[in-house]
Amino acid sequence: MISFEKAQLEKIIKQAQKTKILVFGDLMVDEYLWGNVTRISPEAPVPIINISEAQVRFGGAANVAYNLIGLGHTPLLVGIVGQDRMGQLFQKMMKENGLDNDGIIALPDRPTTVKTRIIGNNQHIARVDQETVEPISLKVQEKLFEIFVSHIEDVSAIIIQDYNKGVVVPWLINRIVDLATRKAKLITVDPKFDNFFEFKNVTVFKPNVKETEEALAMRIKDEPDVIAAGNKLLSLLNCEAVLITRGALGMALIEKNNQNTFVETKARKVADVSGAGDTVIATLTYALCGGASMKQAVTMANFAAGLVCEEVGVVPVKLDKLRDSLINYHKSSTRSDQSK
């Protein structure tokens, strides 16, 4: 695995923070309700939970933006919310985190996507989803594309985060990628099944193993399978690189000209993998904007994912922790090489 000298790492970070990254995708609110189970309901065999704490957080593509904030970056977030209480709360959270709402369209006839997790006695009891997954209208698609056109000169990269909630649709994908390609902007994609093969000609395509297996109708059991799948995606999508995340097994970077790099996970103790994919694509894109090579960017993303997996719940990566982790790894690698 690549290690970074401090000066080299600081140069990447400094350059990345001078850039602007646009994050587009399905915006969500993650709501958490914590409490204690007091008894079983007399109305049905279900627990009664006395809620003692409630919290709302950025979810979906907004969590990618939140990870960029954790890295000291101020992204432009583009997507839709509803003209409802959670939509208003979402925009309030954006303001509190220093984000402009220039890229947000509030729709009167579509609810803000909310995922409510109910936790009783420190156990996940239930999840309640409020959402509409029908594709947005052509009129809304055109309004979103106008936002891209108005900001394209100011951004260095575009992250597309798809959760199959009806906002990332083929018409928009094709026009966004074409515009970004003509303007020589980086495009990184975290796909889902519905639009999996729409993301042609992007910079980095980042599915996980399960998504890759489903899309290609193949089993991925070992490293040769990963390489075969990655090369097939390179051919089908004409992208510069495929990054397949493999959970506890780490990541695999498949590039053209048979350049294959496997990196093992850096989590010392996995507590929760929730949100790790958001952290990966945010850190990867951030590093590329900072002038990192593809392998350097993947290394940074891998360390970042390892850090968030050590935390419980969906939490963003923090720049100081990532910096310290990378520098400490370089020091230990250097000591190891010197002792040989």
Which one is catalytic: 272, 278, 324, 337?
278
Cα separation, 160 vs 180, in Å, equals 12
Range list of H helices, 17-137? 61-70, 85-96
Q: Is 278 a catalytic residue?
A: yes
- C-alpha angle with apex 192: 215 to 145, nearest 5 degrees? 130
How does strand 241-245 pair with strand 204-205? parallel
Closest listed residue to residue 281, CA positions, set 57, 113, 67: 67
Cα separation, 35 vs 45, in Å, equals 18
Cα separation, 25 vs 32, in Å, equals 22
3-state secondary structure string across 174-224:
HHHHHHHHHCCCEEEEECCCCCHHHCCCCCEECCEHHHHHHHHCCCCCCHH
CB 314, CB 57: distance < 8 Å: yes
- C-alpha angle with apex 169: 62 to 112, nearest 5 degrees? 40
Beta strands in 62-164 (DSSP E): 76-82, 104-107, 113-120, 123-130, 157-161
CB 237, CB 205: distance < 8 Å: yes
Cα separation, 63 vs 152, in Å, equals 22
Run of H or E residues at 259: strand 259-263
CB 62, CB 27: distance < 8 Å: yes
Active site residue ranges: 278
